[in-house]
Chains A and B, each alone.
Chain A
Amino acid sequence: DGGITQSPKYLFRKEGQNVTLSCEQNLNHDAMYWYRQDPGQGLRLIYYSQIVNDFQKGDIAEGYSVSREKKESFPLTVTSAQKNPTAFYLCATQGWEETQYFGPGTRLLVL
């Protein structure tokens, strides 16, 4: 069953804590993306990766970090430096065609 999985569906962060959001895909797509969505807002690009072991900052990378050690996986860490992390986080992939495909999202809440 091909697709993109994100886990967990809900994540709670305590003050000063780093948390990691998982994104896994079995579509064999080279490019992967992380977006942040705030209520009533569009999507803002955090980081993207076009190939394994390489990634670039998007428009709002401060307070976030990523890694791309495997083609299938692109985890996002929300660090304690991100002072307003409450949002809906979306992972997306893109293969050879000019279309992005999205995972179901992770909602991050601050305790």
Chain B
Amino acid sequence: GDSVTQMEGPVTLSEEAFLTINCTYTATGYPSLFWYVQYPGEGLQLLLKATKADDKGSNKGFEATYRKETTSFHLEKGSVQVSDSAVYFCALSPSGQGFSFIFGKGTRLLVKP
């Protein structure tokens, strides 16, 4: 079946460091791909998405490119801030099944000043 695999955390970085959180997926067809962010005690917020191969989603300095050849959607940010500390979830919506989402287990990011 379809699945999403994220790198395990926690990921600990110093402020202004470069961030990469790896996400790979298994799916048939052409799923849509998403990154969500969850701050402590809150719900998930959509960070960015991409709906077809080679699309780049971006928001608040974060970017991810839909790579069908490597089945990946890695999250990157050039310079992280303490306020980016949160849990990040990669997710996919299988093609042709608009009401079904599959989430990764989440990666905790801790940014130290």
Contacts and interface: CB of A to CB of B under 8 A. Distances in A.
B69 interface: no
Interface string B83-101: 0000001010100001101
A43 B99 contact: no
Contacts of A94: 98-99
Interface residues of B, number: 21
A28 interface: no
11 contacts: A4-B43, A33-B101, A41-B106, A42-B89, A42-B104, A42-B105, A43-B44, A98-B98, A102-B44, A103-B43, A105-B41
Given A41-B105, A102-B43, 18 more contacts: A31-B99, A33-B101, A42-B105, A42-B106, A43-B89, A43-B103, A50-B99, A90-B43, A90-B44, A92-B44, A98-B32, A98-B98, A100-B46, A100-B101, A102-B45, A103-B43, A105-B41, A105-B43
A50 B91 CA distance: 19
Contacts of B36: 102
Classify chain A: how many residues form its interface, as a range. Answer: 20 to 34
A99 B33 CA distance: 10
Contacts of B42: 104-105
Interface of A: 4, 6, 31, 33, 41-43, 48, 50, 90, 92, 94, 98-105, 107
Contacts of B101: 33, 100
B6 to A, nearest CB: 9
Contacts of A50: 99
B74 interface: no
Contacts of B98: 94, 98
Interface in B3-59: 32, 34, 36, 41-46, 49, 51
A42 B43 CA distance: 12
A92 B93 CA distance: 14
Contacts of B34: 99
Contacts of B45: 102
A8 B11 CA distance: 32
A100 B45 CA distance: 9
